[in-house]
Structures are given as structure tokens and as C-alpha cells.
Structure 1
């Protein structure tokens, strides 16, 4: 699938019987942009981190936008060597998206299964999740049960983890 071909993604979701709702908005590059410009959408809002472990493995960690992710704790939970953020070239090559458009939908582009998808348990508890459909000028709302169905269909059954709460300094 081409890097920004969100229409093919939506068509695939329709073919799977998955109901989604998409809204257009100005391009969102950060969570702060998203909070300011996305409008009032029901459900949780995804934060997707594209990570690389010390041994060269790739991970797509999906959490709620308000979750502070401690990479050391996440790596330990997943029994992975130390995490760092993967580069833009790997992001484009493996997930076919640009920074700011990363979401669990990008798993559709990892046709060789090189990326392990991980979802924070609190994401599933939301019932509805909002994330970018391979481009950052749209947000698509999907039932979390349907997101799991989609990920299974594209060969990326996710690992579900409980991320520890990280205290924020006042």
C-alpha cells in the first residue's frame, strides 16, 4: 500500500465489515496539535511510538495520548533489549508513513512482519479509539474490538500489556 493511501485502508476496513468514522482537519504533527485542532471526538486518542530495540527489532507501541511511557519499563515488560526511537527511514520503509502519521493502521504496510505491535491495555478499555488512517490530516474512529480484528487480518496480532503509571512532576 502506498505511504498515504488511506482510501485503500478504509476500503479494506469496509470489506471486513468494520465501521469507522473519519474526520478531516489540518495536519497534526504533535499531541498538542491534536488536542487543539482535532475537534470533539468520542473515545480515546492514540499515541503510537515506533521503537527499535538494541538487537535491531522493531516495535509499534500504541498507548493513550495521556500515557507517559517509560521506555525502560516497556522494554522490560516485553522482555526486549533496551528501546530507542526508530528513525524516519525505518518508519517509511517498514510502516510506509511519515512522522506524525504513525498509528496501528500502519501495520498494514509491514508485509514482511518485521514490526511487533503492542497495545496498552487501557487503549482497549476505551471502547473507541481515534488514530490517523496513514495520514495526519484525518482522524479515524474505530471500535477497539474492530482494531484487534483488523490487526489479526493483516498478520499483526498485538501483544497487550499493562504499562505502569509514570508519575509526573509538578
Structure 2
């Protein structure tokens, strides 16, 4: 199985269910459907059709990480941010960060590789995943992210994302670079 919407019904929370929840909460978003995107480079190939000219867009890259004590972290960064895992571990005050396996990603965030997103905290909050986001998001109008699958992207106001986190009980920690 891949990370596309074809297999969304095998996830703990489907993309359709997440989108319905956002609508029920009265949060506005724009849904884009596209080819599956697995990397930042893939995302850049379709972004021009999504981003409104002149808007301050926050395009993301997401890292699912574990430390030497097997604690889990979801880190959302500005798409072009260069990152050094050792330095990031120091900033988070944890040691030896490494990427989590596909099995642990499913277990802790309920998604597959290629679909990592801040919205996976719908599952992560219950599994003790700590969430960090790049402080650059404060300067953006809209954020672009996958809704648990990698052949869809949603655009929503950053303020709406904070409302999602509030409703889910996510403790958001910001990272300054």
C-alpha cells in the first residue's frame, strides 16, 4: 500500500474523515488533488498551480523522528529549511535523533511515508508524539499540507491550523532558526 487516498480506508483516520471534521468545525480550506507527492521536489512541481500570487505561503516539509529513549517527534519546517539532525536534537534538548520507521509512523501518527503532515497529530496527540513547528509559520498567511494522504494537499489559513491544534489538544512547540 502506498500513501495515496486509494488506501485511506486502511488508516486509523481517513483523509475523507479528517476533511469532514474540518468542515464540521467550520474551518475553511481549499482541497487540491494531484499525483502522489513523496518529496519536497515532487511538491514543488505542483505548487505553482496552488499558491495564490502575492500570498505569504508556508510550504512544509515534515520529519517524523525518534530519540535514543524511543520518544517520538513530529517536526514541521519551512520547505527549504536546511536541517542538521544533531543540531536539531540539541535544540530540542534530546539526543541522537533519527528517522522513525514506516511501522512506527503508522503506529504513532496513523500515516504512511510520503504523507507526513502536521494534521497527523489527530493520531499523534493520543500517542504522546511531541509536535514542533518552524516559527517562520508566524509570518505566513496560509499553510499547505497533506490531509493524511499524499495525493491531496489542503491550503488553510495559519490561524485555522491553530484552531485544529486547539481542538485536538496538541501542545505546539515552536523552533527558532
Q: Same fold (TM over 0.5)?
A: yes
Task: State how many pairs are aligned.
Answer: 163
Structure holding more helix per residue: 2
Question: Does the Cα contact within 8 Å between 1:52 and 1:59 map onto a contact in 2?
Answer: yes
Deviations 1:134-169 (A, max 9, x none): 000011001112112111211212101113xxxxxx
The aligned runs of 1:45-124 (5 Å cut-off) are 45-110=59-124, 112-124=126-138
Question: Hey, what does 2:3 align to over in structure 1?
Answer: none
Query: Please, which moves more after superposition, 129-138 or 30-39?
Result: 30-39
User: What is the deviation of 1:129?
Assistant: 0.6
Query: Please, which moves more after superposition, 33-42 or 49-58?
Result: 33-42
Deviations 1:103-134 (A, max 9, x none): 00111022524200100001232121100000
Structure 2 residue runs of 5 or longer lacking an equivalent are 1-8, 52-56
Question: Does the Cα contact within 8 Å between 1:117 and 1:157 map onto a contact in 2?
Answer: yes
SS in 2 for 1:112: helix
Task: List structure 1 runs of 4+ shifted beyond 4 angstroms.
Answer: none
CA distance in 2, matches of 1:84, 1:158: 21
Q: Say which of 11, 19, 29 aligns to 2:28.
A: 19
TM-score (norm 1): 0.89
Q: Say which of 118, 125, 148 aligns to 1:134.
A: 148
